[in-house]
Structure 1
Amino acid sequence: MRVRLHVNVDHVATIRQARGTEYPDPVEAAMLCEWAGAHGITVHLREDRRHIQLRDVEVLRRTVKTMLNLEMAATEEMVRVALQVRPDLVTLVPERREERTTEGGLDVRGQLAALRGVRERLDASGIPTSLFVDPDADQVQASIETGAAMIELHTGDYAEEARRGHSTSELERLARAASYARIHAPSMKVAAGHGLTARNVVSLVALVPELVELNIGHALISDAVLVGLDRAVQRFLRAIEEGEQLR
């Protein structure tokens, strides 16, 4: 399988924090996801610590056997955490305390110098950087200008369009953005995430061949409530494989 599945275990921590207990443990969830075939684990350490805690990230760094992707805001505090923990990848994301979840991509063009500076600091410690961006050519171009190793395309609008059964305009937009990255920065890797389900993943993978990685959290953890983590992971792996076979 060429497209990797990274599981975001934030919502396991969300359940834990709702009662202030020690369970369910996102670290244990990460291990189960790896055993089921996931290619990586993603966590978002938010500044308000609403779900994942610093200790979770530290323990995950010691226990994850595949790849650990740390999502974070491009702040001095978070850069210090990344340099201390040393994840396999840092994904810089926008963050607002009032939002339920990340609601869109970074304005890379408007923060080009600052994001390039963060990327340079992470690179100096051997930590590659990904930027979470909307599927827009100017934002992709700005991401290229920062020197980031990867972009993650925001698929929230596509997921909403698919849910409503509307046209394929957002899917086409994602395809154009990924193609732009391939043409203008052949070494840049392209990932995608946000709002992805086992149903809408198939068309995304089929029609955006540049994708090397999907970050999926809410839908997969929701499925796991009903069928278990192992079966939920395997369901998404099958969906990715189905999309690849349709290319």
Structure 2
Amino acid sequence: MRLGVNIDHVATLRQARRTFEPSPVFAALIAQQAGAHQITLHLREDRRHIQDEDLRLIKKLIKIPINLEMAPTEEMKNIALEVKPNRVTLVPERREEITTEGGLDVVRLESFLKDYLKEIKLANIEVSLFVEPEEEQIAASKTVGADAVELHTGRYANLWNEHKKEQAREELERLKKASLLAKELGLRVYAGHGLTYHNVADLVRELKDYVEELNVGHSIVSNAVLFGFERAVKEFIERIKEGLL
């Protein structure tokens, strides 16, 4: 199971002072050196953390795949077509949210997304949709032409963190069922949101036969502040391996 390291919150720390450090580009380079399989970054419309130049430099300097999270807007599509990341992951976005609060409503946006994705796919950029583990959202993702879905693991993470173990197990079953459906439809399956060093191993044990990749940001960056970025990435990879045993 691969690890995509989300570097957004390195940029959050930098933007707190509107200065030049810490550099999310350097963080991406260190994550690559530490064994990360992908760099994930979210270029938000309000540019609250990652900036356009961060994306362009990372695309130029990083050798591992780049996953650009973005809202389905014309501005973001044009940036993606210019920079050409390996993957775009479409996510919902609200200015007032602290972080992404849930999955994209693909069912509601089905007609719009069918047209929106055409140019991106023609540019040979993989398209993933960040969705809730719900049958109708996954089926709609296939219908609009997505190559993959990234399942929102936030509910599982919150239940685990609140020590609601039985409910967390039930949510894992929901994620497993959604993963199986996605694979049956020919979609690649990724997962992420709220995963930490503590709750990831249980998720990996249950989903290792279905999910190819986890995208993790806040927990890694939080530990990097205390212990260093390279160590933080390497230790998260070890936690994933624990779940694979």
Give the counterpart of 1:47 among 45, 48, 51: 45
Equivalent residue for 2:16?
A: 18
What SS class does the counterpart of residue 214 from structure 1 fall into?
strand
Deviations 1:4-62 (A, max 9, x none): 10100000000000001100000000000000000010000000000000010011110
Equivalences, count: 241
> Please, which runs of 5 or more residues in structure 1 have no aligned partner?
none
1:36 and 2:29 are equivalent in the alignment: no
Q: Distance in 2 between matches of 1:234 and 1:116?
A: 39
Letter in structure 1 aligned against 2:124: G
Q: Deviations over 1:53-75 (max 9, x none)?
A: 00100111101110100000000
- Partner SS for 1:211: coil
Residue 182 (structure 2) pairs with residue 181 (structure 1): yes
User: CA–CA distance in 2 between the matches of 1:67 and 1:85?
Assistant: 13
Q: Which amino acid aligns with 1:85?
A: V
Question: Deviation of residue 128 (structure 1)?
Answer: 1.1
**1:118 positional shift:** 2.1
Task: Describe the SS at the equivalent of 1:190.
Answer: strand
Q: How does 1:156-175 map onto structure 2 within 5 Å? A: 156-166=154-164, 167=166, 168-175=169-176
1:161-205 deviations in whole A, cap 9, x for unaligned?
A: 10011121211111111011122x13x110001000112111111
Give the SS at the match of 1:242.
Answer: helix
Separation (CA, whole Å) in 2 of partners of 1:16 and 1:106: 28
Runs of 4 or more above 3 Å deviation: none
Alignment of 1:197-236 (within 5 A): 197-208=196-207, 209-236=209-236
- Counterpart CA distance in 2 for 1:137 and 1:47 is 29
Q: Does 1:195 align with 2:194?
A: yes
Q: Percent identity?
A: 51
**C-alpha distance in 2, partners of 1:172/1:237?**
23
> What is the SS of the residue equivalent to 1:62?
helix
Q: Distance in 1 between matches of 2:145 and 2:195?
A: 27
The separation in 2 between residues aligned to 1:46 and 1:11, in whole angstroms, is 12
Q: CA deviation at 1:90?
A: 0.3
Structure 2 residue identity aligned to 1:76: E
CA offsets 1:206-225 (integer angstroms, 9 cap, x no match): 10121101100000100111
2:99 corresponds to which of 88, 98, 101? 101
1:127-149 Cα shifts (integer Å, max 9, x gaps): 11000000111101111111211
Deviation at 1:231, TM superposition (A): 1.0
Amino acid at match of 2:224: A
**2:132 aligns with one of 131, 134, 139:** 134
Counterpart of 1:64, as a letter, is: I
Residue in structure 2 matching 1:87, options 79, 85, 88: 85
Give the deviation of 1:242 after TM superposition.
Answer: 1.1
Following the alignment from structure 1 to structure 2, what is the Cα–Cα distance between the partners of residues 59 and 100? 26
- Report SS of the residue matched to 2:125: coil
Q: CA RMSD in A?
A: 0.8
C-alpha distance in 2 between matches for 1:58 and 1:182 = 32
Q: Distance in 1 between matches of 2:59 and 2:115?
A: 24
How far apart, CA to CA, are the structure 2 residues paired with 1:182 and 1:203?
Answer: 21
Aligned AA (1:48): D
**SS at the partner of 2:155?**
helix
